[in-house]
Structure 1
Amino acid sequence: MKKIFSLFIVLFFVLGHSQKLNNIQSGEVLNYRIHYGFLNAGTASLTTLKTTYQGKPHFYVKGYGRTTGAVRAFFKVEDNYESFINYNTGLPSFYVRNVQEGGYTQHFETVFNHDNNTLILTDKEKNNSRVIKTVKDVQDMISAFYYLRGLSPDELKVGSVKKLNVWIDDELFPFQLKVVGSENVTTKFGTINCLKIVPQVISGRVFKDKEGVTLWVSNDRNLIPIAVKAELAVGSLKASLDSYKNVKYPLNF
């Protein structure tokens, strides 16, 4: 179980460069409940506020994940993420990952320069910084979540594939998202029609195969993740929408 929960939170936030963020409004809050088998394993949340960063309009997004209940008794996770996302480009300007996972801690801050495809990575624990060459339109772990929500209906047709590069910790990871169909998903609020999306993930040590994660997002203008399931080498993790507020468009359950 060690590291599996925190990796699931990473994938949960990642599953998600858009030119328009018009379907998201300031004050939106999404809360999720995470289960490992029959255990209530933890919670995750995303809060979005409109602000400015370096004089330009941005969304400030805070992501938070933690273990709860019996899982927390033997593996404590407190994961904090922050991202300033340029409202006009959908690209991140500043990103924070500050986590405690069992006895492991990490605190990174990243400043993105999309004009020359570089970033400045600062390790706050070691008090050092370095400049790293990246690729065009790189996302951070939080902004990638909004990549999916900013796509147009034409880009989310069944069979379509979207590729993106995501900066996680101190390394760049390529991801591929494929829309494989639509399904009605039952939730605590009722049943809602969703797009079924499968991201390709690394197989072997944690996940059962390259397509061991499935994401269901509301098939409407919100494109809100309703549920996520990850098939692990041992058991599975599931996350489902537990509460929401200030969503721009009504969710039609």
Structure 2
Amino acid sequence: MRKILLTAVLVCLLAVPALSAEDPSPPFGPGERLYYDIYWTVIHAGKAELLCMADTKMDGEPARYFFAKARTLGWVDNFYKVRDTMEAWTDMDVNYALRYKKDQNEGSYHKKVELVFDRKAGKSYRWARGTLQHTLDQPEDVFDPMSILFAFRKQPLYKGMEFDANVSDGKVSVVGKAFVEDKETVETGIGDVEAFRVRLDIKHLSGVFKKSKKAELYVWFSADERRIPVKVKSKVVVGYFSMTLREYYPPARG
């Protein structure tokens, strides 16, 4: 059961597409809230939320701010308590990452990570447990595991599309790939949703799935201008993890 909730949330946040040269106004914005139920096979293991917070500043630069939280429920909470949070900051157009934080609390395991991107220097700095542990050379436009999701939602989808983009957790920096396979109807808490099924190439991200080298990873995005991540599914050694949208609240438009 180790890292059930963090793994499930990362499944959703590791989408890795490229961006269009002409980015339209994004379908997300401050005030948008997404709430999910997380399952291990048929067991309701926990819940998660994904929020687009009020715009802010990071090191003096205007920034978008995203927040995610996951926790276990019921008997799972008694057996293996999880309380994880993630935060990400990007430029206002969501073209590159500025900073990423993760506070991981799973059973007796506790770890805080902060990832700082220095775009001018072309480097990133990963701090863990208060110590600088990794410094990496980075491409000019690179995303963390959370902000890549919002970069993806800027791109109109269609069957047969293939994507790639730079993504880094501060320990490795890779070009991830995603493939839009088909359109399906997904049952969610907000009703049946027509969605594109996206298959993710995760061979470079095996650190998230150390016990399942051949894990399959799919994310379904609503087939409309919102491109909401409505479902996630990952096959692992024993069964699978899934995350399904329970509630959705649109951004506040001024």
User: One fold, TM greater than 0.5?
Assistant: yes
Q: How does 1:1-253 map to 2 (within 5 A)?
A: 1-15=1-15, 18=19, 19=23, 22-49=26-53, 50-123=55-128, 125-128=129-132, 131-151=135-155, 153=156, 156-168=157-169, 170-202=171-203, 205-207=210-212, 209=214, 212-247=216-251
What is the CA–CA distance in structure 1 between the aligned matches of 2:30 and 2:51, rounded to whole Å? 9
2:28–2:250 CA contact under 8 A, matched in 1: no
How many pairs are equivalent? 244
Taking structure 2 as the reference length, the TM-score comes to 0.86
What is the CA–CA distance in structure 2 between the aligned matches of 1:208 and 1:120, rounded to whole Å? 28
Assess, with a 3 A threshold, how the Cα gap between structure 1 residues 120 and 170 changes in structure 2: closer, same or farther: same
Q: CA deviation at 1:187?
A: 1.9
- Identify which of structures 1 and 2 has the higher relative contact order when contacts are C-alpha pairs closer than 8 Å and 6+ apart: 2
- Whichever residue aligns with residue 97 of structure 2, its letter is P
Q: CA deviation at 1:131?
A: 3.5
Structure 1: gaps (5+ residues): none
Structure 2: gaps (5+ residues): none
Q: Which segment drifts farther, 8-17 or 55-64? A: 8-17
Q: Which segment drifts farther, 68-77 or 233-242? A: 68-77
1:20–1:87 CA contact under 8 A, matched in 2: no
Q: CA deviation at 1:192?
A: 1.6
1:39–1:71 CA contact under 8 A, matched in 2: no
Taking structure 1 as the reference length, the TM-score comes to 0.86
Q: CA deviation at 1:173?
A: 4.3
**Sequence identity, in percent?**
25
Q: CA deviation at 1:205?
A: 4.5
Q: CA deviation at 1:116?
A: 3.2
Assess, with a 3 A threshold, how the Cα gap between structure 1 residues 3 and 22 changes in structure 2: closer, same or farther: closer
Q: Which segment drifts farther, 28-37 or 3-12? A: 3-12
CA RMSD of aligned residues (A): 2.4
What is the CA–CA distance in structure 2 between the aligned matches of 1:20 and 1:119, rounded to whole Å? 28
1:51–1:57 CA contact under 8 A, matched in 2: yes
Partner deviation per Cα, 1:62-114 (whole Å, 9 max, x = no partner): 11111212222222221111111111252111111111122222212122122
What is the CA–CA distance in structure 2 between the aligned matches of 1:4 and 1:43, rounded to whole Å? 11
Q: CA deviation at 1:55?
A: 3.6
1:21–1:90 CA contact under 8 A, matched in 2: no
